[in-house]
Amino acid sequence: MDHSQLPDESSKRFVAILNEKIPFGKLFNALGHMTAGLTSQFGAAKDLCFLTYHDKDGGIHPTISHYPFIVLKAENSNQLRKVRNEALSRGIPFADFVDTMTVGTSAEQLAATGEKMDPELEYFGICMFGESIVLREVTKKFSLLKT
Give 64-94 pLDDT, tens digit per residue. Answer: 888 999 999 999 999 999 999 999 999 999 9
List the CATH number of the domain containing 57. Answer: 3.40.1490.10
pTM: 0.92
Confidence (pLDDT) at 71: 97
Structural domain contains residue 147: no
Q: Please say if the pLDDT value at position 122 is more than 60.
A: yes
Domain residues for the domain of 111 are 3-138
Query: What whole-number distance in Å separates Cα of residue 17 and Cα of residue 133?
Result: 17
Measured between alpha carbons, how far apart are the two ends of the chain, in Å? 35
Question: Reduced to 3 states, what is the DSSP secondary structure of residue 19?
Answer: strand
Query: What whole-number distance in Å separates Cα of residue 97 and Cα of residue 14?
Result: 16
Structural domain contains residue 128: yes
Q: How many domains does the chain have?
A: 1
- Give the contacts of 46 (CB within 8 A, at least 6 positions apart): none
Confidence (pLDDT) at 143: 96
Q: Please say if the pLDDT value at position 2 is more than 60.
A: no
Q: What is the mean pLDDT of residues 22-37?
A: 95
Structural domain contains residue 143: no
